[in-house]
A and B are shown apart, each in its own frame.
Chain A
């Protein structure tokens, strides 16, 4: 019983510390960007929240024939048909064991809208623009193209606008 009390005390204290943190300064308002952080194959990625409509659990995926390998299929999201893309295949990442891939992050910019699969959505938060470092030289070409930057915590921030405007995403195939 005493252990439970201690644990509770610790949690409460941690919450208090978190709440007691001072909000960031207004001067830094311009250089902050809102991101949504998520996991794909044990790697942390993030996309600007400006391009993100919402997150949605993956249910009733309908595979589409005659599409590239990275187009997994379409889902019905509250009456709206949405195509779903697997970034692992799109970025030519190696298959690394099992992954859940049961979350859909809906990207949109008014002209284009599609879903990206993720293992888990970690959080939506703000980061200063200054923490973004230029891309790593080891990254392959295609990943480098869509990269906005990498933080010191090895968080890969993708450029949502580029993803949405990429012509390669649009599938126009006749059989």
Chain B
């Protein structure tokens, strides 16, 4: 039976239906064979018995008719009619011969029938021969002879033919009856077989249907029932182990794995719900949606819980610190209250001091007003000195111009001296030429030589004089240059003086402005000192308020301390709660 269960469902169905087809085919074949046999026996009945009987009846009929016609030939006297009857009798005789031949051919296997038939043929041959004699006599007109011949043996022969034909007919009838009985028996047998095979087919089909039902439908129903349980969330189910190799076996195994998988996920979920986050979930594959989701959920919960634990720890430690700080603040508030009392008395002293400083500020403001006037005088003086400096600058520039003119004129003098020097040089040359000419002239030129000597001497003197003038002129030029330099420096010094005077003026102006501002500030200081005095009164009042407020502070801090203690307890409780989670 196990091999059947291991077959695939398709194979099972094909197998069952094939078997049923075979049974149906057997039934069909059985029916066909029975019907064919019945048909054959009917055909045999018709061919062998019924036809033979008919032939024999026809034979008898023909024989009778031939005999009747012979008698008619004897009776009638008409020659032509006798001849027509003769022809008719011959025709009948031919028909009988033919029938006899057919019978012999049809029933050649039947020994008994053939023996009777042979006897009949023999008797008939004799009968025919005598009849031929009768017909000849009739035609010869000897009707009486013919009639005599027809009596006696011929009569017996005729009766024997008729008896034999009847006997043969009877024989065939018996045979037909026998065959009919056989056919009926066979038909009954065929019916029985057909019934037996049909019943067997019905039984086998029912058995197969039941087996299929048991093999396929029952396990599916079981699995459906289990699935129904799982659908309602119940996981405490047991899927039976089944070693079957068909689709139902595969379905059962897969279903079993699915249930185990879901159970595993349920265990993991239960564990996470119980607070154990330490385990990790390994998804079966990339496409294991639930496994992946569980793994991600576990990781996320772990991370979140870890962060919560850290946060709670921080919260707990922070609340401790806040508690400590609050204690300190409470102590501080107490100290502040004491300090505020001291401050109140100090404020009173400060008020006295402010009174004194207000008077001093008024004095300073008056002094500043005087300083403003002094600064204005200084500014005017500096402006006058700047104007004076401007005049000095103009005069120095005039001096510089004069000196430059002087320098230019000494340059002109130098040029004149150069011209004079050139003249002296030319005079010298002239003197030399004169001397040369004088030498050429010999004795007559002696006086001329003296003149030439004198001219030369003059030229030399004028040259020396120009040299002296040039020396002096050089000195003058040097002095002029020095003067120009000095003037230039003087000019620069005056510029510097003007610049410095300007700066001094600017400084004095700024100083005046500062003093102005100082004076205004001093006035403002005096006014604000007055206001300060008024303010100090208000401060004293405010200090009293502060003192009261700080006392309230102390009270408030006590309440805060209590609240913080509550917060601290909450932090500890949270810490204990979180500690239940194993990360």
Chain B residue with minimal CB distance to A11?
Answer: B461
Q: Is the pair A36, B426 in contact by a Cβ cutoff of 8 Å?
A: no
* CB <8 Å contact, B426 and A54: no
Interface size class of A (residues with CB under 8 A): 10 to 19
Partner of B429, one of A34, A57, A126: A57
The CA-CA distance from A175 to B572 in the complex, in Å, is 128
Total A-B residue pairs with C-beta atoms closer than 8 Å? Answer: 36
How near does chain A come to B568, taking the closest CB pair, in angstroms? 113
B433 near A49: Cβ-Cβ < 8 Å = no
For A36, the chain B residues whose CB sits under 8 A away are: 432, 435-436
B-chain residues with CB within 8 Å of residue A124 when the two chains form the complex = 432, 435-436, 438-439, 452
Contact A123 B433, beta carbon cutoff 8 Å: no
Kindly list chain B residues whose C-beta atoms are within 8 Å of the C-beta of A34.
436, 439
Q: Which chain B residues border A90 with CB–CB below 8 Å?
A: none
Interface check B492, CB cutoff 8 A: no
A15 to B429, CA, bound (A): 21
Please name all residues of chain B whose beta carbon is closer than 8 Å to the beta carbon of A123 when the two chains form the complex.
432, 435, 456
Mask of A5-48 contacts with B, CB within 8 angstroms, 1/0: 00000000001000000000000000000101000000000000
Q: A54-B433, A55-B433, A123-B456 are in contact. Are A49 and B428 (CB under 8 A)?
A: no
Q: Is B440 an interface residue (CB 8 A)?
A: yes
Contact A55 B429 (CB under 8 A): yes
Please encode chain B, from 193 to 229, with 1 for each CB lying within 8 Å of some chain A CB and 0 for all others: 0000000000000000000000000000000000000
| Cα distance, A125 to B428, chains bound together (Å) | 14
Chain A residues whose C-beta falls within 8 Å of the C-beta of B429 in the assembled complex? 55-57, 103, 121
Complex alpha-carbon distance, A123 and B459, angstroms = 12
| Known contacts A54-B433, A55-B433; is-contact A121 B440 (Cβ 8 Å) | no
Residue of B nearest to A48 (CB): B439
User: Which parts of B433-467 form the interface with A (CB within 8 Å)?
Assistant: 433, 435-436, 438-440, 452, 456-457
User: How long is the Cα–Cα vector from A43 to B267 in the complex, in angstroms?
Assistant: 137
Determine if A52 is an interface residue (Cβ-Cβ < 8 Å): yes
CA distance A166 to B505 in the complex (A): 89
Smallest CB gap from A38: residue in B: B432
Taking CB atoms, residues of chain A closer than 8 Å to B425 are 57
CA distance A121 to B436 in the complex (A): 12
Q: Is the CB of B436 within 8 A of A49?
A: yes
Nearest chain A CB to B355's CB is how many angstroms away? 94
- Specify which chain A residues have a CB less than 8 angstroms from the CB of B428 in the assembled complex: 121
B436 touches A54 (CB 8 A): yes
The smallest beta-carbon distance between B93 and chain A, in angstroms, is: 187
Interface residues of A in 132-168 (CB under 8 A from B): none
**Chain A residues positioned under 8 Å from B426 (CB to CB):** 57
Most chain A beta carbons < 10 A, residue from B425, B439, B440, B456: B439
CB contact between B440 and one of A49, A55, A56 (< 8 Å): that residue: A49
* Residue with the greatest number of chain B CB neighbours at <10 A, chosen from A56, A57, A121, A126: A121
B237 to chain A, nearest CB (A): 137
Q: Is the CB of A49 within 8 A of B439?
A: yes
- In the bound complex, what is the Cα–Cα distance between A52 and B452 (angstroms)? 17
State whether A55 and B456 are in contact (beta carbons under 8 Å apart), knowing that A103-B429, A121-B428, A121-B429 are contacts in the complex: no
**Chain B residue with Cβ nearest A37:** B432
Closest 4 CB pairs of A and B: A124-B435, A34-B439, A49-B439, A54-B433
Known interface pairs A36-B432, A124-B439; 6 further A-B residue pairs with C-beta atoms within 8 A, sorted by A's residue number: A15-B457, A34-B436, A34-B439, A54-B436, A123-B432, A124-B452
Which residues from chain A sit less than 8 Å from chain B, CB to CB?
A: 15, 34, 36, 49-50, 52, 54-57, 103, 121, 123-126
25 A-B contacts, Cβ less than 8 Å apart? Answer: A34-B436, A34-B439, A36-B435, A49-B436, A49-B439, A49-B440, A50-B440, A54-B433, A55-B429, A55-B432, A56-B429, A57-B425, A103-B429, A121-B428, A121-B432, A123-B432, A123-B435, A123-B456, A124-B432, A124-B435, A124-B438, A124-B439, A124-B452, A125-B435, A126-B439
Chain B residues proximal to chain A, CB less than 8 Å:
425-426, 428-429, 432-433, 435-436, 438-440, 452, 456-457
